[in-house]
Structure 1
Amino acid sequence: MRRVLLLAVLTILLAACAGPGASDAPPPAHDPPTAFGPSSGSVLRSSTGVLPGSYGSRPELPVALDGTTVWLAESGGLTRADSTGAAAAVGLPPGRWVDGAPLPVPGAGLVLAASSSVVPGSGTRPPGLAVELLAVPRVQAGDPVPGVAWTAAAPLPWSADPKSVRTRVVGVAAAGDGARVAVLTASTSTRRGTVAVDLGSRRVLWAADGVLAGAVLDGRTTQGEPVPGATLPGEPLAVGAAIPPGGGAGYSPSEVVGLDVLTGARRTVTDQGSTALSVHRAGPSTVTVAGRRPTSAKAFLTVYDAGGGVRNEVDLGTASAPPECRWDEAATAVCSGSNRAFALDAPTGAQLWSLPAGGRVAPAVSGAWHGAVYGTTVNGPVVVDARTGLDRNPAPGAAPVVVNAYLGVGPGTGLLSGVVLTPATG
């Protein structure tokens, strides 16, 4: 009996010596993960998981990963969850409606979210609409739930029910003399706008009505040597589609514009008259622009540098549906559509591989991160190498939409299963 008691005391002492944070250590990191274990929890339980994108037609989740912490927009609110799905709501000012994925900004110690809200009317002036940046302290799951540290709102020259407005933080760029600028968008079926906010001064720098930004570019080459013939401005740009007010994104003659992040001035204009335009970041200083030409129903895909110079015109064959592309946050842009998947080198836009080919089928791409492409085929989930197109794992256990070194996030298998969290295991 004494021996049992002694062992129990030693166990307690050893646990105490391990320190209070020993059990909170993060799991092993896998960069990138190519295998996932069984689901550890779920979020967005009232959703089928894959939601319409804020621009183009690429499915998106209103979810961001920050280590093992999950930030998400749900039912107009902002929520923080851990890897089991245990969630806590962030208190928001009254009348705010958050829609798109939050954006953790480690360098600023913040998590940013975009919301819409009503601007009260006065006298003969009717109520209006505003898009607002919400800044929340970046704290991990397990710490006290933060509140909103500050906000910056820009009135829009059009009205809508805030619940019908899609909002999104597109990105953050370093500009000028150390300024850090966030770019956010608001859109409905017929209107759209883009706003820039200085995170230091907490003020709105400019608002561009009729422009739906899809990417924020560094404005300079940050990987490898400069590409011959490339035109690179000194300051970062917000690149997006300029669509006439009242027009739908799918059929109205539009153009792609690059706006100076500090001033909102137009620096580049391309693809005038094209329709169904979507803009996605392809690398630190490149974008993909997909759409249809004004004189043809044929789809096109062009890779541009930050100065509006063409890096590559991708051959889409006879496809009439423009593909959707995503950057893997490393060196590759992965595109899919019309039963085809292919990859482009981020700095040059050169095509690296394309499927189907050689008796292999194209995966339905769900996500891409750090050199890995996640998707599904008739055989189930698969992980493909972003640079070679070869299978890295034919049975990874999941096909996440959002992924980092610790977790994958993607739709569950059942209609009401919501969005599941799957831990990275290899």
Structure 2
Amino acid sequence: MTAFAVGRGSMMPEAAVSGRLSSDGTLKTDLPVVLYRGTAFVASTDRLQAVDTATGQITATVEPQGKSVHPADEETNPALAAPPVLATGHGRTIVITPFVVQQTGTGTQADHTAVEVTGTDAATAKVVWRVTVRPPQWDDVYSDLSVAAVGAEQGVAVVRVSSGSGDHAVSYGIGLDGGSRPLWTVNQFQAEAVVSGTVVGTALEDEAGIDQRAAAYALATGRFRWRGQDSTNVGAVPAGPRLVRVFGKDYGSGHDYDRLVDPASDRTVRTLPEDLSSSGCEYDDRSTLVCSGTGTDAAVAYGLDATTGKTLWQLPDEKADRVAPTVTAVWHGRVYGTTDHGPLALDARTGKDLPSPGIAPFLVNESAGLALDKAGSQLVAYPTSG
């Protein structure tokens, strides 16, 4: 999309940004939102709202059948709600949303905490299945559980359940037909990326969650594939359709590592530049990985080939007198962001400036861009205009 109709914005529900804005009006965490055609699906800890991006009207609300452990109308950290995941399977697009719920016991059976995963038809906003799982009992930490839909491919969605302390985690593979139970379960594994038939994340190898290794399992079966070196501060994020970014600090040497790897084998495709060590990267859904953040000296932005990891362009460029923007979103060959001069757009493959889109959206699709209003306090959906 080249531009947005700035004068025709529609307000999104408060849940979309509640607890996620800093005092200066910047976004601290990812929006709990996914876009599907003209609908924004907004997740909170106890519901999923379907919102018409053209009007701002809530067209449907999905709630778990169990009682939410984290009701949104109580003093609950809104950031516990993670973005839903769109998954394609069985001829339809499904919105995957997990909730932490309290299940009421019967007779001598005690109440217990569980995770209820809902699959909602994106076209109709109607629930097509529910799968309920009961996480391991980790020293009575149920009240601090957080859940997230990690990703989905090839008819399988991955859901992660973590303790508030970060010491414990369990990951589940759930078939997109729903079924009555998960396809597989891996305990003490914090799934973080689903790429090319592989689930990559962090293996927690001791009860304190200190000993960590990057690890990978087959998406279809949950079978073990590989495990990295003993490390701390381990993390993994998707880096396009074929690569995963794996980072951490080697426990033995104390050296940091940050690399793009083949998810099935852990083969390093490229070690990322030091300037990108504190940067986030996002795939443009075509061919480019765009990374931005704070480098060793100043703000940086890079475009990398999503297959080879090769650098395509980078900013700042002193010779061309160009600064690095703050990147807010990338989509279909375009980079959106801001500098001191206002909103901007770049070509994702070349880094060249394009006409201003009028806003700096955090999420974009063919129908709308979602950005903060001028006051930096509300999320607004602006329709595309070209």
TM-score (norm 2): 0.82
Conserved 8 A contact 1:106-1:138: no
For 1:370 and 1:129, the matched residues in 2 are separated by 41
Q: Which amino acid aligns with 1:420?
A: V
Do the aligned residues in 2 keep the contact of 1:50 with 1:59 (CA within 8 Å)?
Answer: no
**Would the aligned equivalents of 1:154 and 1:207 in 2 still touch at CA under 8 Å?**
no
Deviations 1:140-159 (A, max 9, x none): 5xxxx62x322112211134
State the identity as a percent: 31
User: Aligned residue for 2:257?
Assistant: 300
Cα distance in 1 for partners of 2:227, 2:238 equals 16
Q: Which moved more, 1:205-214 or 1:286-295?
A: 286-295
Cα distance in 2 between the residues matched to 1:287 and 1:58: 23
Which runs of no fewer than 5 residues in structure 2 stay unpaired?
22-26, 71-79
Matches of residues 21-420 of structure 1 in structure 2 within 5 Å? 33-38=1-6, 39-45=8-14, 48=17, 51=20, 59-83=29-53, 84-87=55-58, 88-96=60-68, 99-108=81-90, 109=92, 110-120=94-104, 127-140=111-124, 146=126, 148-157=127-136, 158=138, 159-161=140-142, 164-174=144-154, 180-187=155-162, 188-190=164-166, 191-200=168-177, 202=179, 203-218=181-196, 236-244=197-205, 247=208, 252-270=210-228, 272-294=229-251, 299-306=256-263, 307-316=265-274, 322-338=278-294, 339-358=299-318, 359-393=321-355, 395-414=356-375, 416-417=377-378, 419-420=379-380
CA contact (8 A) 2:64 2:116 kept: no
Equivalent pairs, count: 354
Please tell me whether Structure 1 or Structure 2 has the larger radius of gyration of its CA atoms.
1
Given residue 222 of structure 2, which amino acid in structure 1 is its aligned partner?
Answer: G
Q: 3-state DSSP class of the match of 1:397?
A: coil
Against the structure 1 CA distance between its residues 293 and 384, is the aligned structure 2 distance closer, same or farther, given a 3 Å change threshold? farther
Where 1:284 maps in the other structure, the secondary structure is coil
Aligned counterparts of 1:200 and 1:341: Cα–Cα separation in 2: 40
Greater RCO, 1 or 2 (C-alpha within 8 Å, sep 6+)? 1
Equivalent position of 2:73 in the other structure: none
Residues 126-170 of structure 1, C-alpha deviations (whole Å, 9 max, x = no match): 654333320122325xxxx62x322112211134456x4432222
- CA distance in structure 2 between the partners assigned to 1:297 and 1:95 by the alignment: 45
1:332 Cα shift? 1.4
Distance 2:110 2:375 in 1: 44
CA root-mean-square deviation: 2.8
Q: TM-score, normalised by structure 1?
A: 0.75
Q: Is the 8 A contact 1:290 1:322 kept in 2?
A: no
Alpha-carbon contact 1:49-1:411 (below 8 Å) kept: no
Cα deviation digits, residues 240-288 of structure 1 (max 9, x gap): 122346656xxx3421111111222220222x23333332211212111
The answer for unaligned runs of 5 or more in structure 1 is 1-32, 175-179, 219-235
- Compute the displacement of 1:217 (Å): 1.5
SS at match of 1:172: strand
| Per-residue deviation, 1:118 | 2.8
Contact 1:299 1:316 in 2 (8 A): no
Distance 1:415 1:64 in 2: 20
The amino acid of 1:194's aligned partner reads: S
